[in-house]
Structure 1
Amino acid sequence: MKKTINLKFTLILLLIGFMIAVQYNSIENPKQRDTRDIWAIRQELAEEKKLHSELLSEIRELDRTMSSYRTLSDFSTGQALRDTVDKLHQKAGTTDIEGPGIIIDILPSAESIAYGIPITSISSDLLTRFVNDVNRFKGIDMEIDGKRYNVLSSIRVINGSTSVNGLNVSTPPFKIKIISQTLADSEKLYNYLLASSIHDDFYLDNLILDIKPPEKGVIIRAWPEKLENLYLNELPKGE
């Protein structure tokens, strides 16, 4: 009799343990189907391959820089370092640049002018979306209403007005300048923006984008703030 009770008790514990294990497994590993179609998957794969290609290009460029340092004399190495610093300053946006690009006028829509609708500062969300849309194209430099935009920049709302780098963006009309690495890249960006749905978002805010054809000599101002070195110190000569 005692053995029978122990056997039943053991079976009940085994059943409870099995049910707990099944429930835990279903929570930890839920069955989710990937409902994306083949084109969405292909697009994501293409974006990953593009990112991989860009990383490989950066690695190759760094390898070439290191190789040039090893083969140069002391004087030439110093010049190479200065050239590298100049390139970094250009990437950081601390120097004026001139190159092929496009100029975009942000204007009030014709309907808002006709009906006397007051135009306020462009919203930070809309400006951020525009910047993110343009940043699909790599190797570009941008100026928003005379304010250099780079990786250090920020778009915020200060006292109810949209600002870039802490400076208020003018109430439209104002200009956005974008410089690309080549004139062909500017053509691609120009055609992309002409067909972009971003126009609808601007129109809903009573604004329009007037995109000028690419030019060879667009000038963008430098980042106004001085970059501070917080961690590196120059060694005394001879050390």
Structure 2
Amino acid sequence: MSLKNKLIYSLVLMILGLMLAIHFQSSSEQEVRETRDMWEIRQQLQNEQNNQQLLQNELNELKIVQAQYESTSEQDQIQALNESISLLEEKAGLTDIVDSGVLIELIPNYNEQTEDLAFPELTPELLNRLINELNSYGANHIAINDERLTNLTAIRNIGDQTYMNQRPLPDLPLTIKIASDDPDRLLSYMEVSQSRDEFAMHNILFELEKTDNVKIPAYDGELNLQYVEVIEDDKAGGS
């Protein structure tokens, strides 16, 4: 097999490895709790089913790309590879997105005159529940106060503050931007979502707005790809 073909197949394997690494590292970031209510169990089951379907879709796409490599010229192979890389960058959150979608304003339901009412806190648990629902209802890309959510994003509590992508989120109010292929459907679901009720119980109100021009910035950090490596295999293609 020629050097160019080796490079092409190596890049294909790297793309597949990256997708698998993103999926499994994302799954490993989720915290396991000793006690879970029925809502959490159903939500986790649905999330795992969604993740499995997404992974299967990505594998199917790679099979199509592989078929294109095997049936086209070297120039067409390179073009298909570049298109795959661009698609992967978009899925990884490395590109700016301008699309239709929904804006969610998280507003504290707080009155300073009420001394026994603490200022509402956006906990990682609440935020992760909301993100899970958004993904279930058709969100394609999400940013929280212009902090891009990726498959490798960790949302956790450090000290007394919620961190996202290893950066502290500011106090409420916060704006969540969601790009979706069907913003009307997403908006309808969120208006009656369980997350909205959960947030209300913690004195955090939703203000929902549909938009035709939501701008979601690219992730500006570094992706951790230490477990991804290129394996050269002479059996990957013909000589």
How does the TM-score come out when normalised to structure 1? 0.67
- Counterpart amino acid of residue 190 in structure 2: L
Aligned twin of 1:84: 84
Aligned twin of 1:217: 213
Describe the superposition over 1:75-99 as per-residue Cα deviations: whole angstroms up to 9, x where unpaired. Answer: 2211211110111111011111111
Distance change >3 Å, CA 123–CA 51, structure 1 → 2: closer
Unaligned stretches of 5+ in structure 1? 1-45
Q: For the residues of structure 2 that align with 1:164 and 1:104, how far apart are their CA atoms?
A: 17
Q: For the residues of structure 2 that align with 1:49 and 1:124, how far apart are their CA atoms?
A: 22
Greater RCO structure (CA 8 Å; 6+ sep): 2
Describe the superposition over 1:31-55 as per-residue Cα deviations: whole angstroms up to 9, x where unpaired. Answer: xxxxxxxxxxxxxxx9999888666
Distance change >3 Å, CA 53–CA 142, structure 1 → 2: closer
Describe the superposition over 1:102-126 as per-residue Cα deviations: whole angstroms up to 9, x where unpaired. Answer: 11101112x6366474524411211
Q: For the residues of structure 2 that align with 1:200 and 1:82, how far apart are their CA atoms?
A: 44
How large is the RMSD of aligned CA atoms in angstroms?
A: 3.1
Tell me how far 1:56 sits from its aligned partner: 5.7
How does the TM-score come out when normalised to structure 2? 0.67
List aligned pairs for 1:98-113, cutoff 5 A. 98-109=98-109, 112=111
Tell me how far 1:170 sits from its aligned partner: 1.3
Regions of 4+ moved over 3 Å: 46-60, 111-118, 228-235
Partner SS state of residue 140, structure 1 = strand
Identity of aligned residues (%): 26
Aligned twin of 1:68: 68
- 185, 203, 213: which one aligns with 2:200: 203
* Residue pair 1:100, 1:217 contacting (<8 A) in 2 also: yes
Describe the superposition over 1:5-50 as per-residue Cα deviations: whole angstroms up to 9, x where unpaired. Answer: xxxxxxxxxxxxxxxxxxxxxxxxxxxxxxxxxxxxxxxxx99998
Q: For the residues of structure 2 that align with 1:48 and 1:95, how far apart are their CA atoms?
A: 26
Q: For the residues of structure 2 that align with 1:163 and 1:47, how far apart are their CA atoms?
A: 22
- Counterpart amino acid of residue 218 in structure 1: V
Unaligned stretches of 5+ in structure 2? 1-45, 233-239
Distance change >3 Å, CA 79–CA 234, structure 1 → 2: farther
Between the two proteins, the alignment pairs up a number of residues equal to 186
